[in-house]
Every structure is written in C-alpha cells, then in structure tokens.
Amino acid sequence: MMMKTTTVLFLSMAIAISSYGQTTLKFAFNFKFNGEPFKLNQSYDDLSGAKTNLTRVQFYLSMDKAIHDGGNETDLSGNFILAEYGTESYIIDSNLSITDLEEIHFGFGVHPDVNHNDPTTYPAEHPLALKIPTMHWGWTSGYKFFTLEGNIDTDNDQSPDRLFQMHAVGDEFYKSMKLVANKSVANNEIVVEVIVDLGTWFTNVDLQAVGILHGGGPVMEAAVTNTPQVFGATTVVNVKENADKIIENSVNVWNHLNKTFLTYELAQKLDGQLKIIDLNGSLVEGINIQNQIGTIDISHLSNGVYLYSIENLGTSVLSSKFVIY
C-alpha cells in the first residue's frame, strides 16, 4: 500500500553512516511530473488541465559544500552535474571523509564564476564541455541552465499539438539551495535521492503561449522562481507584512513516509491563515496561524495537486504548489 507523502520544501535531517574511510557521494534523481512518475514523450496534465509532454529535459547543478559530522564543512565547488532524464545517478566526489551527512549546498545552473568560461578547455567527458545537443549559449551569455522542450494541447483534443521550448540563460537565474533528501548508504557510498518534479517548473507559466523561448524575460523568470520547489529544497522568499515592511518567510514541509501533514515555519509571526486549496479553487482545509511554527493536517485529502496560501491581514503573501501521492 502506497502511503501519502508531500513534496519537500525543507528537510533538515542527519544521515548516519556506519562505514569508515573514503566515501563516495552521489545524487540520484527520481523524475516526476506533478507527482506522477515521469517518462519522456508521455502526456500529463499541467496545472491548467491541458495535456503536456516533454521530449527533452536537461539541467545543470553546481555543487557548493557538504555539512557533516557536527557542522564541519567540506568544499564541493568545482563539481558539476549535467542532469538528464535516463541517467540514474551522478558521482559528485569519490574521495570524501564523511560519516554523518547533515546538509548539501548546491546551486541550480552554472555558478557565475564559471558560467562564462570557454567550454573547449574542458575534457569531453566534463559536464561543462561542449555537448550535442548544445547546452552552451556563447561566452557572453554562458550555459543553458535548463532545457525543457515538449508539446502542449491547444485544441482540447487531449493530444499535445503545439511545440514549446524553454532554455534558461543568464547569471540572474542561478539559485542557491540546500537539502538532505531520502538516502541510501552502502559500501562507503552515500546516494542522496532527490525527487525532481518537472511539472513544478511550469507553475504560473502558460505553456500554450510560450512558443520558442531561449534566454530570459518575465516568463522564464516565473519558471525559474519555482526551482527550489522542483528539487524539494529550502526556499526563502520575501513577502509583504504590510505596506511599509518586508520580512522573510520560509515555509518548510517535512517528508516522512508515516506522516501526512504540512509543517510551516515563519521568520516572524503573522496575523493570518494557512489555507489548502484544490485545483478547482475550493478551500479544503485552513487554520489560523497562531505561532511561528505549526502544522496543518492533510491526512484526509485525496492524492493529487494542491496549493497552499499564507494570508496576512487578509492578503495572500505566499502561495505555492505541493503534491500528495
């Protein structure tokens, strides 16, 4: 029987490792589309209900550091992943002295310090070397942080018929994140298993109007803004407490297989509510926010895609999607 879980927006748990000696650290990606297992060329419903497929999925990650063994830091910079659907796992480093992994810090895209390097200087097997199809947009612009290509249904016949391409280019799209996700440990290997929900990149994006979009602009910015939720990483956003003051809030959701609730954590107490809304726009659950940390029960909700909204003084200050599956 499959238990309900939620997309991870924040996870801070230590991974205990009983082995000794040099450790290999890997990322393994579990691709989904709005909570469903993902396959290339297979049709899925986007958040508007339109049938969508993806024919190409590639993205860059830049490693930063590992936090381990009581707060010690190990530098992982200089390690990159060019991820694509079909490759099960990626070695980050095979010569680490780690027994208790607490967090991994990494970035979406190619770090600005490296983004404008000459790709011809890297050996062919390096993630930043020239690739076919290309993931480089020229020295001035740098690398494509992601390439998402597919088709969207525009005539309601349940068959995707209009091509779209989104290639994110620009230092401004680099996103720093941190997480420790579900893991497996064996034979001096730590495999950090990361759910990548590709459909989340299209939250607040009208795919029927995208067409061929290479570079930047407001539509690309809207997609890239969703990146921390795509990877289930920590996200901190600025929201208005009132007309005069900006505060930082982070919404955290723990992903435990035996629990079905959302846990929120706010940097500052609000006078408001946390609401859960289904894709029909109906309110399915809501609580008054009485403390900076609290929970909302979702055990009675059916599997599917939902939106949470945090309101302060009657105004929505933060909203995003999560998936129960």
pLDDT at 239: 28
Residue type, 64: D
> What pLDDT, in 10s, does the model give residues 175-192?
988 887 566 778 889 999
Tokens 């200050």: give the residue: 317
48-71 pLDDT per residue, tens: 889 999 999 999 999 999 988 888
C-alpha 228/C-alpha 178 separation (Å) is 9
Consecutive H or E run containing 80: strand 80-84
Per-residue confidence band for 303, with pLDDT thresholds at 50, 70 and 90:
confident
Specify whether the backbone of 22 is left (phi greater than 0), alpha (psi in -120 to 50) or beta.
beta
DSSP 106: E
Q: Which of 238, 249, 231 lies closest to 176, judged by CA?
A: 231
C-alpha–C-alpha distance, residues 258 and 96, integer Å = 32
Dist. CA 110–CA 141, nearest whole Å: 11
Instruction: Centre a 10 Å sphere on the Cβ of residue 139 and count the other Cβ atoms it contains.
Output: 11
Q: Which pLDDT tens digit goes with each residue over 82-101?
A: 999 999 899 999 999 988 88
Q: What is the pLDDT of residue 287?
A: 86
